[in-house]
């Protein structure tokens, strides 16, 4: 079924409606194939198709030799829609208006005044921006906008893995923030890339592994290099440089680190001002909408202020980039956020019988949980989940999730199956599961009290913007 408001394919599970990730040309994983097709058309292309013309019209791509991809971590389509309607993102609102996306101004939803502390703030009282629509419409043909789907799970490691490789999460292997890694026979945290209960990395001497070899896919930068595109840049926080995740995702890129987000625009502008006449790709990552959404919430004055700061950056960038007529600027996000409340956490510690049935702690995401039963306990775990957890979560199996297309076209490799639990839980409403982790020294892991989360497949989490501008 299709959602008439946003055009996304939906599916039902245990009475809940979720967004089905798209891999056919209207999803996040189709962006890297688009970049490769534009900058290296004679190279061996990826299996996933580029973005569909309904998302990225040919008028924006013909003759492009420079692509700039801006990734605003955590800025979901629905969050952007609210902030534009409230007048907090005037530059982005203007671009959507130029794209022909029209609608009536609307007040932000009044479903969580406890988090907002009252009405949504209006940071620019004079700005009157249209409510974003949900497709490319007649307008300025140098601009297009449409919400697209993230991957599953809707989390940074999975989404950035696909953005930087052009393959599905089951093909690159980064299938959640925490995973059971058979290679190390333990629950692991994937951003740090180390044991969940220890503050070390698998790249440390004790394990002696290299992140580059752990990532299953060839990066987009490496593919571009093979095709002769040598100007490929990753603009990230400086402290990300040399970390395991950076070494996985940005192999082959020229790394440009920044100390503060205020430096992103001058760094990108400097790269593009050096016109060598050669094809150029720039990936630039903005982390702080996600940080604010997690710690304060996506319906707060702080969120509005951060989106306003991002909007100012984006407007300034578009003003200062060289206008050669052959540059495509795209804005997207890895996922959105759903409002959560610490008092609505569901601790797995309250289900010791379930934990006894598992060979490893529940992993994945707080909003999309993988359960790995002990050998022979698959049915027992599934029965427990359906009888004891169904009021809090939609329950399915790994095989059914594959049949639903959540992991992309085709089946699962044996090594991908090992990272996905046999039973999956999708918390209902804005609930979240919390896994009890005991650290190596015997102390419990401190669990942050998040007020915004992602990982699941609600529209808030799974729909992200795709704004494209030809300059």
pLDDT band at 101, cuts 50/70/90?
A: confident
Each residue of 392-405: pLDDT tens digit?
999 999 999 999 99
How many separate domains does the chain show? 2
Taking residues 263-278, what's their average pLDDT?
94
Taking residues 139-143, what's their average pLDDT?
86
Each residue of 288-334: pLDDT tens digit?
999 999 999 999 999 999 999 999 999 999 999 999 999 999 999 99
Q: Do both 148 and 248 map to the same domain? A: yes
Q: Do both 120 and 220 map to the same domain? A: yes
Instruction: Give the integer Cα–Cα distance in Å for 250 and 212.
Output: 9
C-alpha 346 chain-centroid distance? 24
**Residue closest to 373 by CA, chosen among 355, 393, 389:** 355
Q: Do both 54 and 164 map to the same domain? A: yes
Taking residues 257-286, what's their average pLDDT?
96
Tell me if 269 is assigned to some domain: yes
Average pLDDT, the chain: 92
**Residue 145 buriedness (CB in 10 A; 0-12 / 13-18 / 19+):** buried
At 102 the pLDDT is: 66
Q: Do both 59 and 131 map to the same domain? A: yes
The torsion defined by the Cα of 227, 37, 218 and 327, in degrees rounded to 10, comes to 80
Q: Do both 360 and 429 map to the same domain? A: yes
Tell me if 442 is assigned to some domain: yes
At 208 the pLDDT is: 87
Q: Do both 294 and 406 map to the same domain? A: no
**One-letter-per-residue 3-state SS of 199-242:** CCCCCCCCCCCCHHHHCCCCCHHHHHHHCCCCEEEEEEEHHHCC
Q: Do both 304 and 360 map to the same domain? A: no
pLDDT at 469 over 50: yes
Tell me if 63 is assigned to some domain: yes
Taking residues 396-420, what's their average pLDDT?
96
Quote the percentage of the chain above a pLDDT of 90.
Answer: 85
354 and 381 Cβ atoms separated by less than 8 Å = yes
CATH of residue 294:
3.40.720.10
Taking residues 25-48, what's their average pLDDT?
98
**Residue 441 buriedness (CB in 10 A; 0-12 / 13-18 / 19+):** exposed
At 190 the pLDDT is: 97
pLDDT band at 411, cuts 50/70/90?
A: confident
pLDDT at 46 over 60: yes
**Residue closest to 8 by CA, chosen among 149, 168, 159:** 149
Q: Do both 31 and 102 map to the same domain? A: yes
pLDDT band at 138, cuts 50/70/90?
A: low
Tell me if 12 is assigned to some domain: no
Taking residues 133-155, what's their average pLDDT?
82
CATH of residue 353:
3.30.1360.180
Q: Do both 360 and 317 map to the same domain? A: no
Tell me if 84 is assigned to some domain: yes
Tell me if 395 is assigned to some domain: yes
Q: Do both 225 and 349 map to the same domain? A: no
**Residue closest to 394 by CA, chosen among 363, 369, 422, 412:** 369
At 3 the pLDDT is: 74
Tell me if 209 is assigned to some domain: no
At 139 the pLDDT is: 64
**Residue closest to 52 by CA, chosen among 40, 64, 37, 67:** 37
Q: Do both 53 and 164 map to the same domain? A: yes
At 126 the pLDDT is: 36
At 26 the pLDDT is: 98
Tell me if 181 is assigned to some domain: no
Domain interval for residue 404: 341-449
Q: Do both 295 and 356 map to the same domain? A: no
182 and 171 Cβ atoms separated by less than 8 Å = no
């Amino acid at each position: 079924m299709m959602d008439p408001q946003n055009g996304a394919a939906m599916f039902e599970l245990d009475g809940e409606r979720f967004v089905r990730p798209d891999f056919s040309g209207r999803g996040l994983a189709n962006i890297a194939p688009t970049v490769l097709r534009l900058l290296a058309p004679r190279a061996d292309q990826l299996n996933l198709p580029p973005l569909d013309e309904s998302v990225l019209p040919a008028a924006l791509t013909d003759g492009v030799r420079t692509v700039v991809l801006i990734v605003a971590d955590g800025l979901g389509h629905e969050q952007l829609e609210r902030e534009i309607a409230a007048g907090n993102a005037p530059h982005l609102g203007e671009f959507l208006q130029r794209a022909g996306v029209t609608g009536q101004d609307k007040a932000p939803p009044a479903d969580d005044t406890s988090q907002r502390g009252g009405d949504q703030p209006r940071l620019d009282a004079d700005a009157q921006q249209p409510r974003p629509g949900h497709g490319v419409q007649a307008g300025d043909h140098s601009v297009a906008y449409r919400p697209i789907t993230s991957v599953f799970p809707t989390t940074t490691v999975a989404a950035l893995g696909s953005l930087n490789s052009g393959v599905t999460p089951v093909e690159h292997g980064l299938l959640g923030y925490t995973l059971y890694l058979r290679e190390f026979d333990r629950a692991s945290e994937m951003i740090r890339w180390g044991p969940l209960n220890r503050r070390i990395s698998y790249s440390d001497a004790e394990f002696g592994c290299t992140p580059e070899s752990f990532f299953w896919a060839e990066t987009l930068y490496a593919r571009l290099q093979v095709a002769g595109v040598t100007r490929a840049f990753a603009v990230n926080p400086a402290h990300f440089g040399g970390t395991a995740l950076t070494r996985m995702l940005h192999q082959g890129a020229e790394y440009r680190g920044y100390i503060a987000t205020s430096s992103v625009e001058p760094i990108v502008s400097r790269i593009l001002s050096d016109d060598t006449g050669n094809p150029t790709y720039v990936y630039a990552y903005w982390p702080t909408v996600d940080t604010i959404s997690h710690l304060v919430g996506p319906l707060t004055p702080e969120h509005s202020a951060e989106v306003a700061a991002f909007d100012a950056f984006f407007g300034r960038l578009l003003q200062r980039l060289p206008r050669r007529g052959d540059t495509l600027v795209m804005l997207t996000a890895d996922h959105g956020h759903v409002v959560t409340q610490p008092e609505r956490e569901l601790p797995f510690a309250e289900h010791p019988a379930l934990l006894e049935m598992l060979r490893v702690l529940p992993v994945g995401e707080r909003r999309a949980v993988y359960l790995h039963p002990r050998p022979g306990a698959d049915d027992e775990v599934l029965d427990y989940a359906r009888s004891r957890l169904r009021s809090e979560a939609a329950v399915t199996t790994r095989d059914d999730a594959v049949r639903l297309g959540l992991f992309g076209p085709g089946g699962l490799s044996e090594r991908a199956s090992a990272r996905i639990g046999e039973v999956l839980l999708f918390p209902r409403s804005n609930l979240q599961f919390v896994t009890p982790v005991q650290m190596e020294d015997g102390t419990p892991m401190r669990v942050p009290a998040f007020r915004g989360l992602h990982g699941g497949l609600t529209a808030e989490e799974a729909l992200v913007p795709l704004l494209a501008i030809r300059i």
